[in-house]
Structures are given as C-alpha cells and as structure tokens.
Structure 1
Amino acid sequence: MEDIKHRTIKVNGINMHVAEKGQGPIVLFLHGFPELWYSWRHQILSLSSQGYHAVAPDLRGYGDTDAPPSVTSYTCFHIVGDLVALIDSLGVDQVFLVAHDWGAIIGWYLCLFRPDKIKAYVCLSVPYLPRNPKVKTVDSMRELYGDDLYICRFQEPGKMEAEMAEVGTAYVLRNILTTRKTDPPVLPKGEFGTGFNPDMPETLPSWLTEDDLAYYVTKFEKTSFTGGLNYYRNFNLNWELTAAWSGMKIKVPVKFITGELNMGYNLVKDYIHGGGFKEVVPNLEEVIVQKGVAHFNNQEAAEDISNHICDFIRKF
C-alpha cells in the first residue's frame, strides 16, 4: 500500500485526487457510494503487478477531490467530463474501465457518451438500465417502492445528512458496508435508524478491517456524505439531460460481475440473464454471478474480482 502514489490533477475545473500504481495499459477504477479510491486497494496492487497502470480517483464530491457546493454540479455530464479530462491528462486515447455501484452507473454514461475512450468495461453490481422515455427515474422508483426507499429518502438536501450525523459517520459506514440484504433498502421516516442493515454484525467481516473502516471514517468525517448523496439527487435531472440518448445501445465490450446477494440483483435477474441486458449491450461477453457474495464484491471477493478483470482485459 505504501507504494501506491497519490497526486492531485486539475480536471474540468476541479482538483481531483488520484491513487495510482504500475506501468503499462491504463485501467481506470471508479468507486461507488459510500466509498473512495480505497475500495480498489486490492485491485490496484494486483493489476499493477501484472503489467498495468492502475488509476483510481476519488470521484467529484468524495475524499480528497473537490466537492462543489451546488447540487446540480453532480450531473452525469459533470462527472463524465471529469473522467474524460482525467483520461486526457494521462496522455492516452483509451483506457480499460472497471467500476462498481455509482461508479458503474457513471461508467455506463462514459461508455454511452464517449465510447471512443474505452477499450473494454468490467462492470460490477449495477447493470445498464436504459432510460425509460416516459417516467423520470426517481418517480419510477417511488411508484414501485414508496417514499421510504433509500433513493427517495436521499433526495432532500440536508435531511439525510442530518439523520446520518445523529448516528455518526462510523455507524453509517459500518451499516452500509456490511449489509447482506438483497432487497432495496427502505429507511424509516425521519431517521437513519438501522439504515441499510438491521442485522449489522458486532464484528466486521474478514474482508473489512478496523483500519479499513477507519480510513473511510476519517475521510467522510472531513467531507460529510453530501457529495455522494448529490449523485442520487441528480437522477431526475440526468433523465432530463439524456433524452437525446434514448434508445442508444452500449457498444463497448463488457463483462458484468455481481454477487448473488447483491441488493437488487433478484429484481433484475430475468433482465440480466433473459436477453434484455444483451439487447441493449450487444457486446456483453460474459456475466459472472459470485456465490455467497454481497454488494461490495470488489472488496469481499477481491482476488476473484482481480482475476476476472485480468482475464477479460487481456483479450484486447
């Protein structure tokens, strides 16, 4: 870990913190919520030892990267703009892309808007879900799951931050990172409460040490969760902004990996395995379902994920 280098790069009007290691073809790693570059610590070490230059930024609003105050500074265009500028700053035309959770959503947008920048994409946990031209994203989720669905509860600026502050940063991170619930989280009104994981274990799982948790806590205590929550607050605005891409397919080569205990996997299982996913991502080459693994599969099954990434990108 001491050999991982850190620097700050000016991209798209903000300062972006980047962790990197190795030489060779670039593999760009995008983290999710509530995570950081650190979520890819195992993959950075593994890929860099196999002839790749691993690059993992803190995305806009996270960690040591700038967090603009305006909610609307977190649209898909802003974040993809950051990443295109980052790729350009690395002096290459194309990169391999690996992304998880919200990073995966941003990864799909990057492949949609700038497929010329991506050689191949290894996507974890969140499949490409094409834009519904008739219903806004959050409105659709509210219709399906009600107002207490976590995405709906995240919408009002400041409210969820206050609820999270009541239980504390360490509790929120421990609660979310250890969840093995497969249903989308529904949060009680007016309080974070047991949050994502009413069965939160007293001890951390083997793949998450107290030192790991402490790193996340230190960074989120500095920034709060606002930056990450602002991604959710732009779901409907992203829907409006991307109308011109309705019906477009993702053309880059893709490998998709999910844990069988990933939250929401059961809801999209038929779509993933029944041909719907392949229809909108015609170069979907492989779907991997990891037995007994939950949402944060890049950390829980780190070695397996690293091997899958290498096996796939070696083809290109």
Structure 2
Amino acid sequence: MEAQMAEVGTEYVLKNILTTRKIGPPILPKGEFGTGFNPDTPATLPSWLTQEDLAYYVTKFKKTGFTGGLNYYRNLNLNWELTAPWSGVQVKVPVKFITGELDMVYTSLGVKEYIHSGGFKKDVPNLEEVVVQKGVGHFNNQEAADEISSHIYDFIRKF
C-alpha cells in the first residue's frame, strides 16, 4: 500500500482522503489505487480546506509516512484481542455524539443501525444526543467547524 501511495504522491493521497464523499468503508483493491477512496477527487479544494492546510498535512505525512496509520488497520485482529478485557464495558459519562451523514465510518455496514436502534445507547447509557450533520463527511471538525464548536460549547456549558 505504501508503494502505491508513493506512486500517486502524498498530496494526492491526502486530498483524496480529506475530500472523499464515497460512503461505506474505504476499500482499496489491489492494483486499483489510482482512484482509491474517491474516484471523483475534485480539481479544486472545498471551501473548508485551504491549500495552506493541505500543504501543512503534506509536510507532516512526508516526514512520517502512512505506515503508522495503515498498521492500525493491518492490526485489527490484534487490537480486538488486546481490548478484549473491556468488551461489554459501558461508557458512563455524559456523551454527545456528532458525525457526518457522509462519514465513511458512519455509513459502514451496520454502524447507522447500531447508533440509531438502541445498541449505542445500551453501550453508552448516558448518551444525551446523536447529531448527524447533513452533507458532511469524516472530517466534520473542519468541514463544519463553527457548528462543531457550537455543539461542543453547548454540551460542556451544562457542566
């Protein structure tokens, strides 16, 4: 995967990831990376992502590469094994969950159903609110920064 990412370049990979509107989990079939997450990577950046922001991320990922992040996904089975002692443990602090309707995690198989059919509330009994932002993807803190800030402020203000 790292070799395929190197072929298309760090800027392309990050622009592709940040601007994706493809719902469902990211799947990168072997030999078909050229379009990767988002076959319709826009020629221009969306209003919430400046060229300066993208350049900053590119400099950071050029130093570190993508291996660390990719290894998380390569290690999913081990991650489940390591966190097994906490399986079934509830999150018992007040929670407000915010996601974008186009978030690739939110739109992955079974996630919406889990969140909206009571499974999430069972695991997080003090879940106060679920907010699904219309037209927003995975990077909602950037895509809808003012709205996110308002939600966080309103939530924390109660304490």
- Counterpart secondary structure, 1:265: coil
Give matches, 1:204-223, under 5 Å: 204-223=45-64
One of 150, 155, 158 as aligned partner of 1:312 = 155
Aligned counterparts of 2:101 and 2:84: Cα–Cα separation in 1: 32
> Quick check: 243-252 or 282-291, which moved more?
243-252
Q: CA deviation at 1:219?
A: 1.0
Q: Give the equivalent residue in structure 2 for 1:292.
A: 135
Instruction: Say whether residues 1:239 and 2:96 are aligned partners.
Output: no
- Whether the 8 Å contact between 1:183 and 1:263 is mirrored in structure 2 is yes
Aligned counterparts of 1:168 and 1:174: Cα–Cα separation in 2: 10
Instruction: Say whether residues 1:278 and 2:109 are aligned partners.
Output: no
Q: Give the equivalent residue in structure 1 for 2:3.
A: 162
Higher strand share: 1
Q: Give the equivalent residue in structure 1 for 2:29.
A: 188
TM (norm. structure 2) is: 0.93
Q: CA deviation at 1:284?
A: 0.6
Aligned counterparts of 1:223 and 1:213: Cα–Cα separation in 2: 15
Bigger RCO of structures 1 and 2 (CA < 8 A, at least 6 apart)? 2
- Whether the 8 Å contact between 2:105 and 2:138 is mirrored in structure 1 is no
Give the aligned residue type for 1:313: I
Q: CA deviation at 1:191?
A: 4.7
Aligned counterparts of 1:187 and 1:299: Cα–Cα separation in 2: 24
Aligned counterparts of 2:81 and 2:154: Cα–Cα separation in 1: 37
Q: CA deviation at 1:212?
A: 0.6
One of 22, 31, 40 as aligned partner of 1:199 = 40
Higher helix share: 2
Aligned counterparts of 1:164 and 1:300: Cα–Cα separation in 2: 24
Give matches, 1:123-138, under 5 Å: none
Q: Deviations over 1:122-174 (max 9, x none)?
A: xxxxxxxxxxxxxxxxxxxxxxxxxxxxxxxxxxxxxx111111111011001
Aligned counterparts of 2:46 and 2:35: Cα–Cα separation in 1: 18
Q: CA deviation at 1:186?
A: 2.1
Aligned counterparts of 1:289 and 1:244: Cα–Cα separation in 2: 31
- Whether the 8 Å contact between 1:259 and 1:293 is mirrored in structure 2 is yes
Q: CA deviation at 1:234?
A: 2.7
- Whether the 8 Å contact between 1:250 and 1:281 is mirrored in structure 2 is yes
- Counterpart secondary structure, 1:289: strand
- Whether the 8 Å contact between 1:259 and 1:290 is mirrored in structure 2 is yes
- Counterpart secondary structure, 2:29: coil
Aligned counterparts of 1:265 and 1:222: Cα–Cα separation in 2: 30
Aligned counterparts of 2:64 and 2:20: Cα–Cα separation in 1: 23
Aligned counterparts of 2:18 and 2:83: Cα–Cα separation in 1: 31
- Whether the 8 Å contact between 2:15 and 2:54 is mirrored in structure 1 is yes
Aligned counterparts of 1:291 and 1:191: Cα–Cα separation in 2: 30
Q: CA deviation at 1:260?
A: 1.1
- Whether the 8 Å contact between 1:187 and 1:193 is mirrored in structure 2 is no
Give percent identity, aligned residues only. Answer: 81
Aligned counterparts of 1:219 and 1:242: Cα–Cα separation in 2: 29
- Whether the 8 Å contact between 1:163 and 1:191 is mirrored in structure 2 is no
Kindly tell me the number of residue pairs found equivalent between the two proteins: 157
Give the aligned residue type for 1:254: V
Q: Which runs of 5+ in 1 are unaligned?
A: 1-159
